[in-house]
Amino acid sequence: MPGLFGLDFHGTVVLGFAVALFVLLAWGRWPLETVSLVILVALPLLFLFAPYEVGGEVVSPFGFFFGFGHEALVAIAALMILGRSLVVTGALEPAAAWTAKALERWPQAALLLVLASAMAASGLVNDTPIVVILIPLLSIAAQRVGQPVAGLLMPMNFAVLIGGMATTIGTSTNLIVVATAADLGLPRFGLFDFYPLVAAAAVPALLYLWLIAPRLLAGVPAMTTESDAAVFEAQIYIGEDSKSAGATLEKALAGLDPYPHIREIRRGAGIAVVPSARVALQAGDRLLVRGTVDELKELARVLGGEMHGAHDRAEADAPDDGEDGAEDVPALPKNEMLAQMIVTEDSLLSHSTVRRARLATLHEVVMVGLRRSGGGARWSRRDLADAVLQPGDVLLLQGTQDALLRAQAERTGLLLNTMTPVPRAAKAPIALTVLAAVVLLAAFKVMPIALAALAGVAALVLLQCIDWREAAGALSTKVVLLVASSLALGQALMLTGGIDFMANGLLAASGGVSPRWVLVALMFMLGVLTNLVSNNAAAAVGTPLGIAVAAGLGVPPEPFVLAVLFGCNLCYLTPMGYQTNLLVMNAAGYRFGDFARAGGPLFILMGSALSAMLIVVYEL
């Protein structure tokens, strides 16, 4: 069946799938999981209803599900669980706590130590746990010494990302590139085979992150990490015994200056009252307000209202059927505290609501405020309990310290202003030993990393370092579906000639220039792409593309495979370039342009240095 651009029908359709995938990922309106699932359904259906032959054999539609059993996905999932064990046992916290003290006493020297340590650690441990642990510790240390936290968090995050590209297990992207290249017949890269290349390029990058990047971020508006510094959207409940019940708003707020903006007064079933000086407050009113924690607490005190009560607790968890149910819910204890909790990628609240998660009933904590990712609070007519939460959103929670810590342990989110006691500190040495054993087994090629990591998970479970609920919580549906769909799409492009088509296009565009410049163009092209779409998707398509380009040039494929690997890790330009970018964006209040300002020079520096290293080492 005829196609377009010299491709047959299947090649044209699969190439269209690839373009659609990247457009949808860049658009960001559909969840990554949905896009990945569509690809996993569409590809088999195409080859089921329009059979396709390669080498005289019909391509099986079910062959595109091979990614679910691929060694790259097995290794990624096992390494996620290994990284989770370091968090639940607190294995990394002693070193991180010491770093926080050093930052307080020797800020400049300690910052250099933090950056270097984060770089070194992220080659062996998943990036996200390192960033998650360092965010609150660096924020607290910065507040103590009066240093802007914006000058610490983004450089630390970028240092972690640089370190992650140094080994085959540093990121899921690396694992996909290495495994795909091996599938295509290349000798498998060893754990530290390209470590010297990244280490050499990381030296000028480290100096940049230490001396220059903090200065470029000096203009970021100051934002401390204490609970009273962030602005939240919240509700205050006027009870029967409230002193402001029956009083006008002007009289009730007498003496409170300044006070948070009162956005709306919600009364009864669906009645919204516009706030004005002469509006009389009634028992049962809920005031939708916006302010810092201190402002909210002061407003509640002056009004004689509550930031929550038994009424709010029942309403937050009740089905949306109009029933109150307050009489069935006991009053909350009085010895409570406020705490901020960030919604992470693996949080039970991610892409869900407080009402659906039954936060109060199951965890005995109540959400009293919400701060959307990126800073500030955005007013909405939707009840807080019905707001769909996204990774990076910060909840203002009220509850006892024990309840808050339990909620965190059960994957509700990450507490930002509370140091969490280590629940299984005695198991920390075991978790570290298991991780070290996995690394050594893979480094000395005793066994493949997928098998070594899976054996490590078995050891952790048998030794009770981590339970199955925590292990399951470490896995990301987004990553699993994205890896499987990316591998399937890459396979389809290979089978139908799409990779050769793109390789020929790149070679034609290069106009016969030296292979070294084609390598540079390939790395920077994928570097830009990875800041707009998934790193894993770019890696799955880029790896066979790099091999095909090298074959067309008549040069060894290894430097081009590494160019793909390095390019897919240059995710410094946008907040969506990598998930840890979003975490530091929320914690420090960075804006979109801050990533381009501080990450742009690093993008050029790392891309140029890595390209030069590949050209020199492989004599291109």
Where do the domains of the chain lie, and which CATH numbers do they carry? 73-210+423-477 (no CATH), 231-415 (3.30.70.1450)
Least confident of 32-36, 170-174, 541-545: 32-36
**Residues 457-494 pLDDT 10s:** 999 999 988 888 778 877 777 778 877 887 788 788 77
Residue 370: pLDDT band (50, 70, 90) is confident
pTM: 0.56
Over residues 359-367, mean pLDDT: 82
Rounded percentage of the chain residues whose pLDDT exceeds 90: 14
User: Across the chain, what does the average pLDDT equal?
Assistant: 78
Lookup: tokens for 567: 């390019």
Per-residue pLDDT averaged across 396-407, rounded?
80
3 state SS for 6-67:
CCEHHHHHHHHHHHHHHHHHHHCCCCHHHHHHHHHHHHHHHHHHCCCEECCEECCHHHHHHH
Confidence of residue 418 (pLDDT cuts 50, 70, 90): very low
Confidence of residue 409 (pLDDT cuts 50, 70, 90): confident
pLDDT (average), residues 419-428: 56
* pLDDT at residue 46 tops 50: yes
Q: What is the mean pLDDT of residues 412-427?
A: 60
37-41, 211-215, 575-579: least confidently modelled range: 575-579
Asked if residue 579 has pLDDT above 70, the reply is no
- The rounded distance, in Å, linking the Cα atoms of 308 and 295 is 15
pLDDT of 4: 54
Q: Where are the beta strands (DSSP E) in 258-323?
A: 261-267, 271-273, 286-292
Mean pLDDT score, 558-586: 82
Segment 336-358, tens digit of pLDDT = 677 788 887 778 888 888 888 88
Q: Is the pLDDT of residue 54 over 50?
A: yes
With CA atoms as reference, report the closest residue to 176 among 535, 620, 423. Answer: 535
pLDDT of residue 196: 92
Q: Would you say the C-alpha torsion 88, 89, 92, 97 has a positive or negative sign?
A: positive
Tell me which amino acid residue 386 is: D
**What pLDDT is attached to residue 128?**
66
Residue 314's pLDDT band, with cuts at 50, 70 and 90, is very low
**Where residue 294 falls among pLDDT bands split at 50, 70, 90?**
low
361 contacts 317 by C-beta, under 8 angstroms = yes
Give the tens place of pLDDT for each residue, 143-176. Answer: 656 677 888 889 999 999 999 899 888 887 888 8
Q: Which of 82-86, 195-199, 240-244, 393-397 has the highest mean pLDDT?
A: 195-199
- The per-residue pLDDT for range 504-517, each reduced to its tens digit, is 777 777 777 888 99
The reported pLDDT for the residue numbered 151 is 86
Integer-rounded Cα Rg, in Å, for the chain is 27
In one-letter notation, the amino acid at residue 441 is: L
